[in-house]
Amino acid sequence: MTDCFQTCENIYEITYQTIKLLNERGIHYLIVTKSDLVASDKYIEILDKELAHIQISITSTDDKVALEYEKAPSTSKRIDAIEKLYKLGYDVQLRLSPFIFELIDFNVLNSIKCDKILIEFLRVNSFIKRWFNKIDFSNYTLKQSNYLHLPLEIKIKQLESITGFRELSVCEDATEHYLYWKNNVNPNKNDCCNLTFPKEELANVA
């Protein structure tokens, strides 16, 4: 798991060549990135709307805040990329990963022109506490698999602030929380990534 649109892609074009090969073979592909490069004209020319599924991640809606935690293109550039791909008709969604309530301006988030959002709540360990050293972690009280998680009721409450998307899906590690999202929230109960496939291919995917 690594970002396939790192800066070195501009030199080596490994992702570019891989996309072309996947297109030739008719293989679906999911791109998860924190880069706006995926929406550049060069890649738009080769991304197959029937095969490409794209998730662009943000952590904060504020460019300056995001740069404190990430070495990646600005949030505003990533939002522009999401909206460009959405307007062109791609299966694209904003990935709020990780979702840290304190870093989000919900007026900005809910105004993004995109139908789909994927939520991945923060999992806390000692590294995360050092990295996000301005965040209050006192509510992260559920321990599972060596991480601390927010209680489910707090997660549910936080999701109430996200209103600007037609489809919301939650990717979850905490077992009992995963079952709640699967049964009550996620549009696709068998795929928390909520990918969209052409109707004629749904039988094969299942």
One digit per residue, the tens of pLDDT, for the chain of length 206 reads 689 999 999 999 999 999 999 999 999 999 999 999 999 999 999 999 999 999 999 999 999 999 999 999 999 999 999 999 999 999 999 999 999 999 999 999 999 999 999 999 999 999 999 999 999 999 999 999 899 999 999 999 999 999 999 999 999 999 999 999 999 999 999 999 999 998 756 545 43
Q: Which domains does the chain have, with CATH numbers?
A: 9-205 (3.80.30.10)
The whole-model pTM stands at 0.94
* Crossing angle between the packed helical segments 175-184 and 152-159, to the nearest 10 degrees: 40
SS3 assignment, position 129: helix
Pairing of strands 91-99, 52-58: parallel
pLDDT at residue 2, as a whole number: 82
The number of C-alpha atoms within 13 Å of 47 and in the hemisphere containing its C-beta is 23
Q: Which two tokens stand for residue 176?
A: 């009992």
The C-alpha atoms of residue 101 and residue 116 are separated, in whole angstroms, by 18
